Amino acid sequence: ASKISIPSLKPILNFGTSLFSSVGSLFTFEKIKALFQSKTSPEENDEEFDDRYPSLSAKKPSITKSKAQAVKEVVRPIDSSPENDTSTQRQKKSKSTTGKTAEQLQMDSLTYLYPKIEFLTENPHTAEEVNHEELKFTSQMLKETLETFGVRVDGEITYYPGPIITRFEFKPGVGIKINQIVNLADDLALALKAKRIRIIAPIPGKAAVGVEIPNRNPQMVYLKDIIDEPEFKNARHILPMALGKTTSGKPFIADLAQMPHLLVAGATGSGKSVGLNVMITSFLYRLHPHQVRFIFIDPKMLELSVYAGIPHLGRPVVTKPRRAEKVLADAVVEMERRYKKLANASVRNIADYNAKQTDVEKKIPYIIICVDELADLMMSATSSKIELLITRLAQMSRAVGIHLILATQRPSVDVITGLIKANFPARIAFQVSTKVDSRTILDGNGAEKLLGNGDMLFLDSGQPDAVRIHGAYLSSEETDTIVSFIREQGLEMMTIETISQSSGEPTGTEIDLGDPLFKEACEVVIRHKQGSVSLLQRRLGIGYQRAARLIDKLEQAGIVTPFDGSKARDVLVDKTFLENLYAGGAATVVEPEVNSESN
C-alpha cells in the first residue's frame, strides 16, 4: 500500500493537539492517532511522532493496533479499567456455561459429588520392560514342541505380551488339522512348564492359531488403571462398565445398555464378587443418582449390602428370596407403566423420551437390577415364578431402560436354565471347574482354562467368540471409602415408587371392612389359593366391573399379588389372617413370617 507522507498530516495533528489541550482527554487523541496509524508506515510514523510530540510519545501504545482493534478500544468508557470491568467477567462466565448442555447444568445444580479418583489404590508396580529374549526363547521352544508332535509351523511364531498372559500366534502347515493342535494343550503346558495354557484355534479373523501362556511375573490390574484412562473418561456409553484389560493390555469398557442384560458365573474364588463390585463402582464414577437407580438382591447378605444408604438405590437392599419375588413382580409393573408413558409420548425407547424432556426431574432414570446369587433364588419355593419374572423382564425391559445383571457361583442347568440363558446373550465366565460348566455359560469350552483371580471370558451379544479380559481389582477398603463418601453427602435415597412400596413391608393400606363382598372375596381367593376377576364373577355372581374393583382392593391390601398379564394372582395370606382381621386383630396387612425391619 502507498504511504501517506507525514507533512500532509501536520494540520490534522495540530488540530488534535489543540483539542487534547482544551478537553484534557488523552483518549480522544489516541483514537485519532490509532485511526491514522492504520494507514501509515509504523516505523516512519513512530519516529516522526516521537520527534514532533515528545510529551505524548511515552503514553502511546507499545504496539501498533489494527483499525478494528482501535475501534474496539473506543467502545470502552474512558474511566473503565480491567479491574472494574464486570462485562469481561460476564463474558467469561457465559463462555464457561455455553459449552454444557441444559441437562449438565441442571445436574451441576444438584448437590451430588462424584467419587474422587484418589479413593482408588495406585498401582504399586511400574510398567516393566518386556523381556524379549525370554519371549523369543519361549517361541522357539513352542515351535520345537509342536514339531515334535507332528505339527509343522509355517514361518516364525509371533508374540503379543500382556499384563497376565502372552499370546503366541503361528500359522500351521498345510494339511494340519485344528483338532490335532487343540488336543496338545496339556502336552504343551508340560513342555513349557506353564501353569495352564489356552489354545485358540483358529483366531477369529486370522489364518492363525493362538496359544495363551501365563507370564512368569504377572502384573495385577487395578481399577484405577481403567477409571483414570481416557477410554473410560471419554466413553460415550450410556451405562459404562470398566471390566479390566485385554490380553494386549488395553482397557476394556462395555456398555450395559447395549447388551442389554448380563449373566455372570464363576466358581468360588474366581473373582466373581470383585468383578461385580467393579461394575457397580464404574457406574458410581460416571452416573448421577438422577440417571440410574439400583435394585440390589443379595440373598447372601454379604456383597451388595455394603451399598445400603447411597442415593442411587431404588429401594433398600433385598435379602429375602420371598421379597425378591415381589420386587421382581413390581419391576414388571414398573416396566408396563413405562411402556404406557412412552406410548403416550409417541416414542419408542427411553432415550427418545428423555431427549424430549428439558427438565432433569421429568427424565426417566435407568434401572439396574443386580442379583448376586441367583442359585439361592432358584432353590426357593417360588423358583418357577422367579424364572418367569426374570424372563419377562429380559424379553421386554430394554426399551424402557431396565437392565439385569445375574451372578451365580453354580453355573449348572438347574440354575442357569435354558429359558434364562436364551434371554441373556451377554455373558461373563470366570474360572470354572469343568468343561460342562463352561459350556453352560458360554456354549463352549475355555472357562475351565482360565487362571482365576479375575481372569474372565466376555461374550458380548452378537459376537461369535468370547474375549479374554483380565478383570480389575477393587479391595473392600476402597469400596467402603467410596460408599462412605457418597453416603456422607446426606442425600436421600431416590426410591422408585412402584418398586419400593409393595415389597413385603407393611404398606399401611386401610382395609374396607364395611364392604359386605370384601370378606367373601377374601374367602374365595384364600380357598382357591389364587385370585382373578373371572373367579370372583363365578363364585360371587357379580358383574365384571364389581369383580375388578374387588381385585384391586385385594391387591391394595396386600392380599393378592399385582397384575401379571393373563396369569392368576397369587394369594399372600391365609385363613388365620382373615380371622384376625375381622376379629379386630389386624388393621393393616403385614406379612406374618417376615420381620418388618429386615429386607
Phi, psi of 569 (to 5 degrees): -80, 140
Q: Is 206 helix (H, G, I), strand (E, B) or coil?
A: coil
- What are the residues facing 154 on neighbouring strands? 171
Please state which architecture CATH assigns to domain 506-582. Orthogonal Bundle (1.10)
Same fold: 223-499 with 506-582: no
Three-state secondary structure call for residue 229 = coil
Q: DSSP letters of 457-483?
A: EEE-TT-SS-EEEEEPB--HHHHHHHH
Question: What is the identity of the amino acid at 585?
Answer: G
Q: Give the CATH superfamily of 223-499.
A: P-loop containing nucleotide triphosphate hydrolases (3.40.50.300)
The third-level CATH classification (topology) of the domain covering 132-214 is Threonyl-tRNA Synthetase; Chain A, domain 2 (3.30.980)
Question: How wide is the angle at C-alpha 429 spanned by C-alphas 426 and 434, nearest 5°?
Answer: 135
pLDDT tens across the length of the chain (599 residues): 444 445 555 555 565 555 555 545 444 445 545 544 544 444 444 444 444 444 444 444 444 444 344 333 433 333 333 334 433 443 443 334 334 444 554 454 457 899 999 999 998 876 666 788 889 999 999 999 999 999 999 988 999 988 889 999 999 988 889 888 998 988 999 988 888 899 998 888 888 999 999 988 888 899 999 999 999 999 999 999 999 999 888 999 999 999 999 999 999 889 999 999 999 999 999 999 999 999 999 988 888 989 988 999 988 899 888 889 889 999 999 999 999 999 999 999 999 999 998 888 889 999 999 999 899 888 886 788 899 999 999 999 999 999 999 999 988 888 898 888 889 999 999 999 999 999 999 988 889 989 988 999 999 987 878 999 999 999 999 999 999 999 888 777 766 766 654 444 433 344 556 677 888 899 899 988 889 888 998 889 888 878 888 888 888 777 888 877 667 888 888 787 777 777 654 333 333 333 333 45
Nearest to 569, CA basis, from 557, 581, 579: 557
Q: Tell me phi and psi for residue 198, to 5 degrees.
A: -125, 130
Beta bridge partners of 467: 458
The whole-number pLDDT of residue 548 equals 85
Rounded Cα distance between 573 and 522, Å, is 9
Do β-strands 402-408 and 366-371 pair in parallel, antiparallel, or remain unpaired? parallel
Closest to 14 measured CA to CA, from 56, 61, 75, 62: 56
Query: How far is it, in rounded angstroms, from Cα 277 to Cα 474?
Result: 7
> Quick one: cell of 393?
423382564
pTM above 0.85, yes or no: no
Q: How far apart are CA 77 and CA 86, in angstroms?
A: 13
Alpha-carbon distance of 149 to 423, in angstroms, equals 43
Phi first, then psi, for residue 278 (nearest 5°) are -65, -40
19, 28 Cβ separation under 8 angstroms: yes
By the 8 A CB rule, do 201 and 181 touch?
yes
Contacts of 375 (CB under 8 A, 6+ apart): 408, 409, 410, 415
Going from N- to C-terminal start, the domains of the chain cover 7-86, 132-214, 223-499, 506-582
